[in-house]
Amino acid sequence: MPARGRLKEARKQSRDLYQEAATGSALSGMAVYRPKGSRTFWYDFTWRGRRYRASSGQLRREDAELVESRLKLRLRQEAYGVAPFDAHRTPRFQDRAEIYYREVSTKVTRPERLEDMVRVVLRFWGAKPAVATGRNRAIEGEPYHDLHLGDPIVDPDWIVQFESWINPRDHLS
């Protein structure tokens, strides 16, 4: 290979290494494209051996590239522990309460009492019951915030609101 060809190849390798260092992965080719027959742009890249391919939901290439770059940034930040905390990526209180009840009810002497307490707590933290079944019915006037476990971490005022909601009333009836 002539010297000029080797220099060109070395520059390409250097760019690829720089890109890998900057993004945390070796990316090649165009990662944002519009498939035939699609109105929206898609992104397609591999990071840490996992492929990420999905619609960006965007009609303009610039917006799709922004969606892709934000996803790459989030992946890098999460991998290295500097990502901002996102409460909505944690489980909902409603979902976790069902798991908690299933795991704990076999270990207590009065599982029906545990069920009552969980139901009362979910009137504040959980979702309003969609279908009224037996004891699981929506209580008029209760807040039903449908929160995630991360919400009181992001905004500790939720704890204060819960305490002021639960203290003055007899919710266990």
pLDDT tens, 55-92?
999 999 999 999 999 999 988 988 888 887 788 888 99
Q: Which of 84, 100, 131 is the last residue of a domain?
A: 84
- Are 101 and 136 within one domain? yes
Query: Nearest to residue 129, comparing CAs of 116, 114, 139?
Result: 139
Is residue 172 situated within a structural domain?
A: no
Query: Nearest to residue 151, comparing CAs of 83, 87, 91?
Result: 87
Q: Which of 84, 110, 132 is the last residue of a domain?
A: 84
Q: CB atoms < 10 A from the CB of 122, how many?
A: 21
Taking the C-alpha atoms of 55, 60, 63 and 68 in order, what is their torsion angle to the nearest 10 degrees? 30
Give me the phi and psi of 111, to 5 degrees please.
-65, -25
Quote the pTM value.
0.55
Report for 23-27, 43-47, 139-143: range of highest mean pLDDT: 43-47
6-10, 117-121, 147-151, 165-169: the lowest-pLDDT one: 6-10
Is residue 173 situated within a structural domain?
A: no
Taking all residues of the chain, what is their mean pLDDT, rounded to a whole number? 82
Is residue 155 situated within a structural domain?
A: yes
Give me the number of domains the chain comprises: 2
- Are 146 and 95 within one domain? yes
Residue 17 has pLDDT above 60, yes or no: no
Which tops the pLDDT comparison, 111 or 172?
111
| Residue 99: domain span | 90-166
- Are 27 and 75 within one domain? yes
11-20, 29-38, 58-67, 138-147: the lowest-pLDDT one: 11-20
Give me the phi and psi of 58, to 5 degrees please.
-105, 145
1-15, 121-135, 145-159: the lowest-pLDDT one: 1-15
- Are 45 and 117 within one domain? no
